[in-house]
Structure 1
């Protein structure tokens, strides 16, 4: 299958992301979207990313667009720098997917591209090189770009915001591994660097293996940590555990951060924990399809209707979008409508310190609804869609497949197939938008039951697909 847009950016096998293909996408972006005449370019730590970035820079310059080459850095750092300069941005990253794949994320002067922008870029793929009066200029901007992102937090939160906490940073191949160390220590915490790798590690914050969670528990005990932090490859998805190494799901992290920041309006995909709707602090909760472009669109629509709303967005993977200026202790944090990994983790740690509670206590103070998620890799998207369509259209087929011990209560087809049952449990099936993966989400009154539902139904899917 040729590279195409998924839930966030163009994705495909490295062997398919040829110079010709990359040239077509970047040239079309330059012609179809508002670049502001300057594009910030960054990339992750995959072996294939630097060469793709070189092609991106070459094409932009040929199209008369100046390039700020930012090197290896977090996607939100790149987006933040471009936002500050009224410029566009391109990030070369496959995010959390394996290293045999890669991708390209696009940002216009208005931020992350919309689904409409994706359509325009796709329609313009066969366009020819344009005649320009002079080529763009190439400048190195890595140091300034990363400094701006670090200062977004260190100049706004107080210097002792995290004082007294000992925080582990699982570094692996995250582009944020050094930035996180700097931010955490600048805010008063003690930071412990753990397991930095040379090879790329595809960390998926929604599908953390049991083996990884056992390692987290061992690290927390060994280093006497209050929390362990990490991110996916391009650092737009956070990962945080409590002092025992237990993972805090991304949507729960989003809720805690939203409460700390004083948000009153939430935009989040339909797959997020439904306990959001039980919290009186949130005036409105808007559910979207899965993917940051849908969350961004919902936030922007709400901002048009009510500019005074303290609106935020987050996804089940933990990526957090700030839609209003947050007045922190030492300064104001500007809105950033792209997934950020740093803000939800800092806000959660700061909330724990301010309330003199552990991370586990913060989580236990929320309504008792628990989610789990995992996926089967190597399942073609069309096969996943056909499997789900058969269930969606067949009550008898659903009755045979979803054996949760209770009848259906409702069906939601916003994104894939999400079934709610009369016993309060939820099972949600959908094809991944980024890779050939079949994803399963579940929600239940206990964490163990949510995990059991995911494991049980994924096993049934595997057996059926054979």
Structure 2
């Protein structure tokens, strides 16, 4: 088990039982020791639709009860809905989810009463877990919740999102909702219908389907292309397993980059500052719409960057990632209604913002995307890539400059190099290639940018090929 870009992740077999109870207890002890909660306080638990999630949630519920807390079951609910409800009632929370990773894996996301945990909290939880392990572990008997609050949490989240757009803002749009196994699937239908769109639910599944909104699989793209053509849709929308990362495809079924969705959401809120990871499109700064601050990959880093901006007296602070997850650190006013800060990934805001923009301009989504004239950015990953191999690759690339130059020689000459998170290289011809091990799973990711789609596709293929060649030579 390890903390990645958002929460604790690992194989189901490594999380069920003692480890789940251990980390839930460690989280409770960290909060109690820091004075952020007290014995008898309520703590929320939500979960996604993975087969393993109910069992892990029950183990955590038992551990939290034995730690002296009152467990409130929020059911199968999007992570941002759970986080919002926790902020509203001043409760800590756990979300049992592996987000977009395969069903043989799962995880836990942790929230203090004032929001998502940070890297210091992760270290404190790890320290508590190590002490508990050293003392012989904890009781891993499953338990039941003391209260139910799913309906109330969903109601609050819907009310927030029903204040984002004017009434009837999406009238005239025909939108498909790829429901698969995301906990956001019914909420998308309800919200789009509320705003006047014609909504077509598609692809609902009782079996968990991992959907990565940053590296959309060819199978998912093929589905969306077929649906847009067959049903003459203006868009297809969806989210990952826990509903905090959006997926939007245009009228041709082509996925829209998550960082563009975040940029549109920032415009919608009239934000002034955007905090985003180094993997987001390099053309954001050239838009001149916002002050852009760059971070390492992962919501804890984006949240820390937003908090720093607020501490410096900046207003209108928003954050977003290349996966589309959009966060707010400031309160915003929309048509006289206050939208409270929600400093955790949210999929609803960026989806609604870009759909309204298309409706207002009376333009297809593909034309909206082209109007921003961002460099073409693509990414993909090699799954089941051993961690020791990715570590060896990054050590090789970070070694002597000659080693990096030799590795990239089949692609081009090195211009500038950034090592904020992974290794990001701007080639002398202006193209960008970025190598980075995933923080959540045994995967090696490659990000590229180029002037045209064909150049970006070729660069991505070449980059992944270099990674495969390196791995083959080590095996």
Alignment of 1:50-65 (within 5 A): 50-65=54-69
Q: Give the match's secondary structure for 1:409.
A: strand
Establish whether residue 419 from structure 1 lines up as the match of residue 457 from structure 2. no
How far 1:229 sits from its partner (Å)?
0.1
Q: Hey, what's the Cα distance between the residues in 2 that align with 1:276 and 1:87?
A: 36
- Confirm or deny: 8 A CA contact 1:381 1:432 kept in the other structure: no
TM-score (norm 1): 0.95
Q: Structure 1: 5+ residue runs without aligned partners?
A: none
Aligned position for 1:25: 23
- Confirm or deny: 8 A CA contact 2:6 2:300 kept in the other structure: yes
Alignment of 1:344-363 (within 5 A): 344-363=350-369
Query: Structure 1 pair 405/441, CA: closer, same or farther in 2 (3 Å)?
Result: closer
Establish whether residue 216 from structure 1 lines up as the match of residue 220 from structure 2. no
Q: Give the match's secondary structure for 1:124.
A: helix
How far 1:211 sits from its partner (Å)?
3.2
Query: Structure 1 pair 183/370, CA: closer, same or farther in 2 (3 Å)?
Result: same
Establish whether residue 303 from structure 1 lines up as the match of residue 310 from structure 2. yes
How far 1:208 sits from its partner (Å)?
1.4
How far 1:222 sits from its partner (Å)?
1.1
CA-based RMSD of the aligned residues comes to: 1.7
Q: Give the match's secondary structure for 1:338.
A: coil
- Confirm or deny: 8 A CA contact 1:256 1:362 kept in the other structure: no
Q: Give the match's secondary structure for 1:245.
A: coil
Choose the corresponding residue for 1:194, options 193, 202, 206: 202
Q: Give the match's secondary structure for 1:337.
A: coil
Q: Hey, what's the Cα distance between the residues in 2 that align with 1:447 and 1:332?
A: 40
Q: Deviations over 1:175-202 (max 9, x none)?
A: 1100110011011111100010111000
How far 1:87 sits from its partner (Å)?
0.9
Q: Hey, what's the Cα distance between the residues in 1 that align with 2:424 and 2:42?
A: 42
Q: Hey, what's the Cα distance between the residues in 1 that align with 2:83 and 2:14?
A: 26
Alignment of 1:361-440 (within 5 A): 361-403=367-409, 406-440=412-446
- Confirm or deny: 8 A CA contact 2:411 2:459 kept in the other structure: no
Aligned position for 2:247: 239
Query: Structure 1 pair 35/42, CA: closer, same or farther in 2 (3 Å)?
Result: farther
Q: Deviations over 1:83-139 (max 9, x none)?
A: 111111100000000000000000001211000000000001133699xxxx99710
- Confirm or deny: 8 A CA contact 1:60 1:136 kept in the other structure: no
- Confirm or deny: 8 A CA contact 1:38 1:88 kept in the other structure: yes
Aligned position for 1:115: 119
TM-score (norm 2): 0.93
Choose the corresponding residue for 1:4, options 2, 5, 26: 2
How far 1:406 sits from its partner (Å)?
3.8
Q: Deviations over 1:387-429 (max 9, x none)?
A: 1111121322222322465421111111111111121111110
How far 1:382 sits from its partner (Å)?
2.8
Aligned position for 2:453: 447
Establish whether residue 316 from structure 1 lines up as the match of residue 322 from structure 2. yes
Query: Structure 1 pair 252/448, CA: closer, same or farther in 2 (3 Å)?
Result: farther
Deviates more, 1:365-374 or 1:38-47: 365-374
Q: Give the match's secondary structure for 1:372.
A: strand
Aligned position for 1:263: 271
Query: Structure 1 pair 404/247, CA: closer, same or farther in 2 (3 Å)?
Result: farther
Q: Give the match's secondary structure for 2:54.
A: helix
How far 1:328 sits from its partner (Å)?
2.2
- Confirm or deny: 8 A CA contact 1:371 1:451 kept in the other structure: no
Q: Hey, what's the Cα distance between the residues in 1 that align with 2:357 and 2:145?
A: 45
Q: Hey, what's the Cα distance between the residues in 1 that align with 2:218 and 2:241?
A: 20
Q: Hey, what's the Cα distance between the residues in 1 that align with 2:144 and 2:307?
A: 32
Choose the corresponding residue for 1:149, options 152, 157, 174: 157
Aligned position for 2:72: 68
- Confirm or deny: 8 A CA contact 1:65 1:137 kept in the other structure: no
- Confirm or deny: 8 A CA contact 1:156 1:330 kept in the other structure: no
Aligned position for 2:96: 92
How far 1:287 sits from its partner (Å)?
0.5
Q: Deviations over 1:349-383 (max 9, x none)?
A: 11111222221121111133111111111112232
Q: Hey, what's the Cα distance between the residues in 1 that align with 2:357 and 2:116?
A: 29
Aligned position for 1:177: 185
How far 1:446 sits from its partner (Å)?
1.6
Q: Give the match's secondary structure for 2:380.
A: strand
Establish whether residue 327 from structure 1 lines up as the match of residue 325 from structure 2. no
Choose the corresponding residue for 1:16, options 14, 17, 27: 14
Q: Hey, what's the Cα distance between the residues in 2 that align with 1:231 and 1:314?
A: 15
